[in-house]
Amino acid sequence: MTDSSRDLGVATAILSRFTNDVLPKVRAIQEQVERGEHLDDEAIAFLHEIFADARSFQPQIEHHPEYQEIYVSAVGLYKEIMDKALENEKGYKS
């Protein structure tokens, strides 16, 4: 197996997992914070895990610019959720 076919296989697996498993959970968490709810420990741990995974993929993204748009969107979504969650928490403490 060549490096490029292995890279394609890895990228395909990552995108499949992201699309089928991760993104639906992230969207559900996003809906939760948009309703003004706070995140429980499980949701926070999940988001941190996903962000850590995304950071570990960064070197591969640098070598495959065709995936940068998806990567940037995913990281942006994480930031959007965390910003809103922080805003919600501040509202609870006021």
Position 30 scores a pLDDT of 97
Predicted confidence band at 64 (pLDDT cuts at 50, 70, 90)?
Answer: confident
Distance CA 5, CA 37 (A): 44
> What would the pLDDT profile of 31-61 be if each residue is shown by its tens digit?
999 999 999 999 999 999 998 988 888 887 7
How many domains does one find in the chain?
Answer: 1
Which range of residues forms the domain containing residue 10?
3-93
Question: Are residues 88 and 37 in contact, defined by beta-carbon separation less than 8 angstroms?
Answer: yes
